[in-house]
Amino acid sequence: MSQEPPEKMMFQLTLRRRGISDLAVLRTMEEVPREAFVAPGDRGHAYRDSALGIACGQTISQPFVVAYMTEQLQLQKNHKVLEIGTGSGYQAAVLSRLCAHVLTIERYRTLADAARARLEKLGYYNIEVMLGDGFDVPAGAGDFDRIIVTAAMEQIPDNLLQRLQPGGILIAPVGPHHGTQTLVRVVRTESGFERKELVDVRFVPALRGIAREL
């Protein structure tokens, strides 16, 4: 009988110690099999609280950041969520357990195809994976109750903010592409947008267009 790695046994405790208190988020983090979303060679480290490399030079965010961003979205079961930057599909899987539908956009075909197949195999049927440019979300996709950006933007484009429903929340890492960013939480109010800076993070850059390779 294989023994779970120490990181898996400490997983929930680490998240709680770092301030994650939403029970629905904690339960979802426990239920989504993170080891299915990392590279085969990293499965023994899947529950360590650190980012891990995936294909196309991208990363799967550390568990705390995934949990923290999810908690800050204050998701409800009827929400429609947009994610910019699918990566391995892990963040989308977490979101999907807490809302009605997730549209996740990825610029790398390799990642989009792999995430789509992985999510279907695992039974996450309320997620749509789209190959596309996160800076140019198709008009036909409609508006969203929540938007989460999982790559660094030097600034949040106005056309993305305009896709938020009234009362909607957007969270994104904002700052220089090569350095430290700040997680920013934006709420759409009747009078405009309320912006709050949260914590410092490090994400790979959000780039325009669909990748020509991979």
User: Are 104 and 89 in contact, with CB atoms under 8 Å apart?
Assistant: yes
Beta strands 59-60 and 52-53 are antiparallel
- How far apart (Å, rounded) are the C-alpha atoms in residues 119 and 130? 13
Q: What is the DSSP letter of 204?
A: P
Backbone angles phi, psi at 52, to 5 degrees: -130, 150
Instruction: Please tell me the number of Cα atoms within 13 Å of 55 on its side-chain side.
Output: 18
Which residue type is seen at 129?
Answer: V
Is 61 assigned a catalytic role? yes
Residue 62 burial (10 A CB sphere; 0-12, 13-18, 19+): middle
Per annotation, catalytic residue among 50, 61, 88, 191: 61
Distances (CA, A) of 203 to 38, 104, 137, 183, 209: 17, 17, 21, 10, 18
Cβ neighbors of 190 (< 8 A, separation 6 or more) are: 166
Backbone angles phi, psi at 169, to 5 degrees: -125, 135
Catalytic sites, residue numbers: 61
